[in-house]
Structure 1
């Protein structure tokens, strides 16, 4: 039996759907609540930032470290509209999966994912990119949260069998 259970939650903390002033270094920050649960589900976060003018990907990034994940980029010194799209991947057990042609139930691992996106703008009259102000307790939006329920149940692997 695993000795870990609870809700593992991943959120995009910055940027928000706002207009920011041009800056030499622009941050992208994800938050993970209860990160000690992440190794139990093999948490993985990936994101892309696209230029809205031509929808070309300018930044692709993947992270498997749920304890410390941030990135700074220098492509936001001029005005423009940008889309941040991200995916959260995790694994879980499916105890009722059909394994073979005899239709015997057998547990197996499955990969789950969900994705979100948000837009932000860089304009001369925009607000400074202020992570502290944008991530204040009362300003964090819930609509981008990805909650993952981690239980303390494990599956029995048959002798000589794989899941």
Structure 2
């Protein structure tokens, strides 16, 4: 495992341990909004998970599709399992993908379904650990309507409207988290969230992307589209590094760099373990 991945995993594990309940979590569609946009070869789809550490025991799964109105014909779809995919060191956590199917004028609908776990305590047991009979999965489906038209505003993540319908989000009250005995049945997570009977109203448009975050997301989506094995994206791509530069970077001082890097990584791992142990102890 690379050092960044290890540190990230340790930090995420710590966040899961340190999370306190009750807690409120929220899922929002940040982009697109219920507006009209110019045709584009790369439409961002940006989703937000607020209070990200408290999402961990809910093992969320996000599915989305884009459909033509009024026929309901599918033009694009995708799914992301976020049981281990939410970065709890970032709040809110933004999950973003893109669609290259919105170059034609018309009315569209982004349909999303979020599946999330819920568990109930065993009334006949004094133990907190749950078996499969007390683990459940709920889901919520909703949609955002938008249009594509020539001459309309260009896609701009930072300029999204501050008003939008409530169906662009959902919120949950997590009362506590219980231990799971059969982790294989819970995507190898060892905790399960207990949801309240009544859920709060979401505030999806209270979340705005600043210019820096919008630029970072746009750059990441462009880079991903340009590096796809069989790219359909026809827009501008960042320049690729030349072969000579890449080779020189890889080979210069290889033996020394490898030894120094290995020693440095070992020291950093030790420091990281100590640091995260201290943080988790509070």
Pairwise TM-score range, normalised by the shorter structure: 0.7 to 0.9
TM-score with structure 1 setting the length: 0.77
1:75 and 1:141 map into 2 onto residues whose CA distance is: 23
Q: Could you tell me which runs of 5 or more consecutive residues in structure 2 were left unpaired when the two chains were aligned.
A: 1-16, 87-92, 125-131, 182-282
2: distance between equivalents of 1:81 and 1:142? 17
Distance in 2 between residues matched to 1:109 and 1:132, nearest whole Å:
39
3-state DSSP of counterpart to 1:69: strand
- More helix per residue: 1 or 2? 2
Equivalence for 2:105: 79
Equivalent residue number for residue 114 of structure 1: 140
Query: How many equivalent residue pairs?
Result: 147
SS at match of 1:129: coil
CA offset at residue 57 of structure 1?
1.3
Partner of 2:57, secondary structure, is: helix
* 1:30 is aligned to 2:47: yes
1:122 positional shift = 0.5
What is aligned with 1:93? 119
SS of the counterpart of 2:53? helix
Residue equivalent to 2:28? 11
**Structure 2 CA distance for aligned equivalents of residues 107 and 95 of structure 1:** 10
Answer yes or no: is the 8 Å Cα contact 2:33–2:164 preserved in 1: no
More strand by share: 1
Q: RCO higher in 1 or 2 (8 Å CA, sep ≥ 6)?
A: 1
- Contact kept, 8 Å, 1:13 with 1:140, in 2: the verdict is no
Cα shift at 1:152: 3.0
CA distance in 2 between partners of 1:141 and 1:40 (Å): 29
TM-score (norm 2): 0.47
Deviations 1:83-137 (A, max 9, x none): 1110111111123789xxxxxxx960111111111211110121111111116xx
CA gap of 1:92–1:3, structure 2 versus 1, over 3 A, is farther
